[in-house]
Structure formats: structure tokens, C-alpha cells
Amino acid sequence: MKKVLNYVNKDGTINTSDVIAGGISKFDYYRFLKENNYQRVAPGVYASEDAWLDELFLLNIRCPKGIISHDEALYYYGLIDHEPQSHTFTIYSGYNVSRLKSKGYKAFYVKKELLDIGKMKVIDFYGNEINMYDLERTICDLVRNRNDFEIQDFNNALKSYVKRKDKNITKLFEYATLFKIENVLRKYLEVLL
């Protein structure tokens, strides 16, 4: 049973696949979970009662095709200075996320062929690897959904992006062309550049 403790993550969660791959029997594993009051928090993921859960990591487990985006990505990149009210992600149209929405997550939809544009792996604030859009895709999402953002957040995010040394304007306009927002984006950036 002590072997199972080697598989407890920093945040107090345990991934079933890691434990089983490590050679621990399912019987011993599930007995450990029960005796230590671990609760199921996502498919194949259990957490102790005092765990500080990494919601973005759990979202990636619950919806592996989903990509962290919008408010959440803006905050991660330091383009807005306050944490989002709800965790946001993007998924392709037609994917059923009703359970996630009922848990308070906010979903944005795109055509399936546009979903992976700008997708990358990042290390979140808890040290877990998650799917998130890159900086340029995040700006495109901001412009595409500008009516969903408060004007102050919208303006601050664009101003912060323009000041960054790691910005890639060429990539930004490549993405903008794919999303058919290049003219709108150009109007906003002309004022700032």
C-alpha cells in the first residue's frame, strides 16, 4: 500500500493509469483509495480530501480534445491581471460538453479543422502539462469574441501584446487570415503600433 504513495502528485491527485503501469494491482490500488478517502474527480483521477485541485489539468483530462483558451489563456500570458471567473476552453462544434458546462466551465466552439491552430503544451501554475493556445491564437480569439470581453480587458490585452518582445505579428496575421478577421485586427493594431 505504501507503494501507491509514490504515485500521489504534488496536488494530491493520483492517476490510475500511472499506478497500474507501475505494477500495482487494481485490488491494492482501489483498497488504498477507499481506506484513504480518495474521491473520483475525473475519469481515472482520484484526489485526497485535502487536495488542492488543478482545475485546468482536470479539464484537460475530462475533455482531452479541448484546449484552454480565451480568458484563461489571457491570464496565463499576463495579458489581463485578474483570474477568470470561469475556466474557458475551446472545442470543435458538435462535441458534447454539457456536463462540463453544468460544472461551471465556459466553452467556445470552432470548426473541427480550426481547433488545433496554435495548440501547444504549456506548464500551468501547478506544474502540470496542459493544452493551451499560443499567444497569437489567444489574440485572435480575443478579437473574434471581442463582444464577450469587457472593453477594459480587451484594450489592456491588446496593448500588453503589442509591448511584448516575444510577439509574432507574422504568425498573428496568418492566424487572422484563417479566421477571417485580418481587417478587424489590422484596425485595432494600427492604433497601437
Contacts of 99 (CB under 8 A, 6+ apart): 62
Is 54 within the bounds of a domain?
A: no
Please provide the average confidence, as pLDDT, over all residues in the chain.
91
pTM: 0.83
Domain co-membership, 97 together with 140: yes
Look at residue 193 in the predicted model and tell me its pLDDT. Answer: 64
Average pLDDT over residues 110-125: 95
Is 7 within the bounds of a domain?
A: yes
Domain co-membership, 84 together with 15: no
Domain co-membership, 82 together with 154: yes
Is 55 within the bounds of a domain?
A: no
Structural domain count of the chain: 2
Q: In the numeric block, which cell numbers belong to residue 7?
A: 504515485
Domain co-membership, 6 together with 91: no
Domain co-membership, 107 together with 157: yes
Residue, of 23 and 2, whose pLDDT is higher: 23
Q: How far apart are CA 118 and CA 24, in angstroms?
A: 38
* CA distances, 181 to each of 24, 66, 108, 185 (Å): 52, 22, 17, 6
Domain co-membership, 43 together with 69: no
Is 58 within the bounds of a domain?
A: no
Domain co-membership, 77 together with 25: no
Domain co-membership, 114 together with 87: yes
Domain co-membership, 12 together with 67: no
At residue 43, does pLDDT exceed 90? no
Look at residue 186 in the predicted model and tell me its pLDDT. Answer: 93
Domain co-membership, 68 together with 20: no
Which tens digit of pLDDT belongs to each residue from 61-100?
Answer: 888 899 999 999 999 999 999 989 889 999 999 999 888 8
Domain co-membership, 30 together with 110: no
Q: In the numeric block, which cell numbers belong to residue 19?
A: 499506478
Is 57 within the bounds of a domain?
A: no
Domain co-membership, 75 together with 137: yes
Residue 7: give the domain boundaries: 2-47
Which tens digit of pLDDT belongs to each residue from 146-193?
Answer: 999 989 999 999 999 999 999 999 999 999 999 999 999 999 988 776
